[in-house]
Amino acid sequence: MHIIKELTFKEEEVMNLFWEEGALFVKQLVERYPDPKPHFNTLSTYVRSLEEKGYLSHEVLGTTYRYYPVITEDQYRNGNLKNVVKKYFDNSYLHVVSSLIKEEDITVEEIRKLLEEVEKTNNKK
């Protein structure tokens, strides 16, 4: 599994546009932002950072680059969840569920549904 590197809020905002739209030129990114639009160079910096982190790649078209996502939003979400569990819950999903129960953020019915999902998954293996 590809290691998911953390994104800043702005990088995630840019990635959301790529996940929604697909391949884009930086100029198209600028056009899709509401006013006040970020400067072209600012978005270009975010895009290069996202490419360095392994989220985007590019193809050369004439004298410019068109960027496209190489990680899906689901891959990002799943990787991000794993990072949170590792960082804050000692790499234990049991600790996550225990925390949700203690904070009353999860109901007994939701726990039953989780158990059903786990049982279905384990029966498929």
- Comparing 9 with 124, the larger pLDDT belongs to 9
**Number of compact structural domains in the chain:** 2
State yes or no: pLDDT of 82 exceeds 80.
no
- Which pLDDT does position 2 carry in this prediction? 53
Is 33 a residue whose pLDDT tops 70? Answer: yes
Kindly state whether residues 23 and 39 are assigned to the same domain: yes
pLDDT of residue 79: 76
1: confidence class by pLDDT, cuts 50, 70, 90: very low
Do 16 and 67 share a domain, yes or no?
yes
Confidence of residue 125 (pLDDT cuts 50, 70, 90): low
One domain for residues 70 and 107: no
3 pLDDT band (50/70/90 cuts)?
Answer: low
Nearest to 15 by CA among 95, 74, 101, 86: 74
46 and 18 together in one domain: yes
Contact between 26 and 44 under an 8 Å Cβ cutoff? The reply is: yes
Q: Are residues 1 and 50 in the same domain?
A: yes
Regarding whether 36 and 5 lie in a shared domain, the answer is: yes
Task: Tell me how far apart the alpha carbons of residues 124 and 108 are, in angstroms, rounded to a whole number.
Answer: 25
Same domain? For 41 and 57 the reply is yes
96 and 43 co-located in one domain: no
| Closest to 3 (Cα-Cα) out of 51, 54, 74 | 54
Q: Provide the domain limits for residue 63.
A: 1-88
